[in-house]
Structure 1
Amino acid sequence: MPGTIRFRDEFAAGDVASALRDALGGIGTDEDAVINIMGNHCLAQRLEIAEAYKVAYGKDLVEDIKSELSGDFEETVVALLTPMRTLEAKQLHDAISGAGTDETTIIEVLATKTNDEIEEIKAAYKEEYDAELEEDLCSDTSGYFRRLLVSLLTAGREPDEGVDTDRAEEDARKFFEAGEARWGTEEAEINAILCLRSRSQLEATFYEFEKMADKSIEDSIKDECGGDLQEGYLAIVESTKNMAGFFAHRIYNSVRGWGTNDSHLIRIIVSRSEIDMEEIDAAYRQQYEQSLEEVIESECSGDYKKILIAVVRMQD
């Protein structure tokens, strides 16, 4: 299944930039016009609109958005106008800046990316902050969790070239022995498997492990390690087994309980909107018996709610 935002064939960046100028430049802001434009053009077209806006009016669209909008609505629109790897680099920077570390963001971004995407994020981080992502993450994390992040940042995952069943059985046995006998000293072995094997090879390994151990790999991880390391391992396993289901679960976690973690919700919806949002919606319905539109309706409000619904709703 595709994303919910798609390339529009009938498109003139200059005309849309003019409409945005009218929406932002008059007495008051026409928020509905901004929502309609942002929710109905793909990222490549939104960036083209921003360039046309600068050419025509000599002003930066993002800066005008920031001056006219506010709160979560502003954050969402700015995210929609940011190149994807730059957005993810900024989110990683925010996750390790200030008081405390947002491990959930770090894990989600790094555990779900291809080698090329990780290299692009590292380059974007360097360009934005004149710093190395690995060094900054290492200075803000520790122990086995830090080692997991370094392993992911090496972007050394093997290409998908079919499944080696013998190797899957061997790797499954390493998982089994680490868990049964000496989990806590074998993380280097586990990291190597989780961060270097192709996704299809990992799926085969998990299948072999579950036959061998008579329990799921997720249950084994939960039994044998905790904290950020557990969350990191589970993110790799769950996203490998079912990427859409993984993000559906992440959305659920961002809205359950008291209050909504809006930054997490915005990141997932914006970043997956052109990839697999329709599939994530289907997974959410299956797991939680509610559509994404329904959960946004119940958890969010105002123009912020409208823009998120515009992004998750299937375009005509």
Structure 2
Amino acid sequence: MPSPTVVPYANFKASEDGDALRAAMKGFGTDEQSIIDILTARSNAQRQEIAKYFLAEYGRDLIEDLKSELGGIFEDVIIALMYPPVNYLCKEIHKAMSGVGTNESALVEILCTKTNEEIKQIVKTYEDLYDRPLAEHMCSETSGHFRRLLTLIVTGVRDESGTIDPAMAKEQAAKLYAAGESKLGTDEEVFNRIMAHGSFEQLRLVFEEYKQLSGQSIEQAIKHEMSGELAEAMQAIVECVQSPADFFATCLYRAMKGMGTDDSTLIRIIVSRSEIDLNDIKREFERQYDRTLLSAVKSETSGDYKRALCALIGGA
């Protein structure tokens, strides 16, 4: 079972938290530590209750009040915590496609790691928020086989009937081999179709069969056969089929590697996985990189921003 770092607060009272947040933001100065202590230790559903109370009791929008009191990337973390999870991911998808250029890595990280049910919620919420179908917006911002793969994913074609077909897995592995390693050039359509349609359980079997057949892993084949964002998307699907925690640990490591920090990715993964499997991601991070996620984040961040992220990550 996935292991979260943020769970519902046992002695939760929306009125107490709402009053405490109001006090933290009233008058001169802001008590940032109180805001961190409350919001990082409540589940998202509880934060929504606090926001409802805040509106009913004070006639004020809690998100707007927080925005006016906080600033910079610390504000980004706190506001990310306040949106319902699916709304937050839709905002991140929209941001990835807004302005000049497209952040393909963010699209891959959000869309290629989701089940059909999660994709359905994202597609519906995106259209509600932006009055534009996600598939249509994505088609105008991406191209080629990468666009085709993402389109297949957001149209929800992944089979989640729960049935696993070993004979079909053998057949699909042979098709992947024929579309890549065994010929000159690559038939990306075959890869797209199989990667977007198969359930994660079925794909796990396909990848095992592929290794039996070709003598090398599907990751190695993708590296040889593809490049750019399509290769990145394929690798993301493969890693999430095998271990989502492994995939997200790698994303976090990359976000902190080298000069500068990719704060958007850091915030998005820590916030969006905190109620799902952040404990598993922490374990995987330490196993792969021989240091705790907490120590890595501490060395890359500072101030209230650091305190908020560390509170969500929890003890080493």
> Aligning the two structures, in what range does the TM-score lie when normalised by the shorter sequence?
over 0.9
Kept after mapping to 1: 8 A contact 2:108/2:236: yes
**Which residue of the partner structure matches residue 82 of structure 2?**
81
- Map of 1:42-81 to 2, 5 A cutoff? 42-81=43-82
SS of match in other structure, 1:240: helix
Deviations 1:49-69 (A, max 9, x none): 111111111111111111110
- Map of 1:273-312 to 2, 5 A cutoff? 273-312=274-313
SS of match in other structure, 1:100: coil
Instruction: Give the TM-score normalised by structure 2.
Output: 0.97
Unpaired runs of at least 5, structure 2: none
Distance 1:194 1:16 in 2: 45
**Which residue of the partner structure matches residue 15 of structure 1?**
16
Unpaired runs of at least 5, structure 1: none
Distance 1:218 1:144 in 2: 18
Displacement of 1:114 after TM fit? Answer: 1.1
**Which residue of the partner structure matches residue 236 of structure 1?**
237
1:207 pairs with 2:208: yes
Distance 2:43 2:116 in 1: 24
Distance 1:7 1:283 in 2: 24
- Map of 1:74-223 to 2, 5 A cutoff? 74-159=75-160, 161-182=162-183, 186-223=187-224
Displacement of 1:161 after TM fit? Answer: 2.4
Kept after mapping to 1: 8 A contact 2:3/2:279: yes
SS of match in other structure, 2:172: helix
Displacement of 1:181 after TM fit? Answer: 3.7
Distance 1:211 1:264 in 2: 36
1:224 pairs with 2:242: no
Distance 1:189 1:219 in 2: 17
Letter in 2 for 1:84: P
Give me the identity figure in percent. 43
Letter in 2 for 1:102: N
The CA RMSD over aligned residues, in Å, is: 1.3
Instruction: Give the TM-score normalised by structure 1.
Output: 0.97
**Which residue of the partner structure matches residue 39 of structure 1?**
40
Kept after mapping to 1: 8 A contact 2:294/2:315: no
SS of match in other structure, 1:180: coil
Q: Would you say how many aligned residue pairs link Structure 1 and Structure 2?
A: 315
Moved over 4 A (4+): 182-185
Distance 1:246 1:208 in 2: 22
